[in-house]
Amino acid sequence: MEPVRGFPYYANMINKTNHRIENIKQSTHMNACIKLCSMALLTIASAATVQASQTNVVQSLTIKMTAWSQGPTTTNGTTVTVKANSQSIATKDILGWLGTATTNNFGSSQLLVMNQLGVPESQSRIIARTITKVSKTLSTTNNVDVSGFFGSVTYAATVNNYSYNSSSNVVNPGTYYGYWGFYLLNNANYPPLPVTFQVSGLGVDSAVDITNTKKAVLGLADNFSITNAAGIGMMGTNEFIIGGNIIISGKTVEVDP
Angle at CA of residue 222, ends 218 and 225, nearest 5°? 160
Range of lowest pLDDT (69-78, 107-116, 130-139, 204-213): 204-213
pLDDT attached to residue 241: 97
At 9 the pLDDT is: 41
Measure Cα distances from 122 to 34, 82, 125, 151, 233 in Å: 11, 50, 10, 16, 30
pLDDT at 197 over 80: yes
Q: For residues 220 and 187, which has the higher predicted lDDT (pLDDT)? A: 187
The rounded distance, in Å, linking the Cα atoms of 209 and 44 is 11
Provide the H-helix boundaries in the chain. Answer: 16-27, 47-50, 91-102
Report pLDDT for 213: 80
Digit-coded pLDDT (tens) for 56-69: 889 999 999 999 99
Number of C-beta neighbours around residue 164 at 10 A: 16
Mean pLDDT for 37-63 is 55
DSSP codes joined into one string, 109-137: -EEEEEEEET-TT-EEEEEEEEEEE-SSS
3-state secondary structure of 91: helix
pLDDT (mean) for 157-179: 88
pLDDT, residue 120, reads 60
Contact residues for 189 (Cβ-Cβ < 8 A; gap 6+): 148
- Confidence (pLDDT) at 43: 31
pLDDT at residue 167 in the model: 87
Per-domain residue ranges of the chain = 4-255
pLDDT of residue 51: 44
Task: Output the pTM of the full model.
Answer: 0.78
With a cut of 90, say whether residue 109 has pLDDT above it: yes
Per-residue pLDDT at 13: 26
Amino acid identity at 64:
K
- Give the residue with greater pLDDT, 4 vs 179: 179
Contact between 231 and 200 under an 8 Å Cβ cutoff? The reply is yes
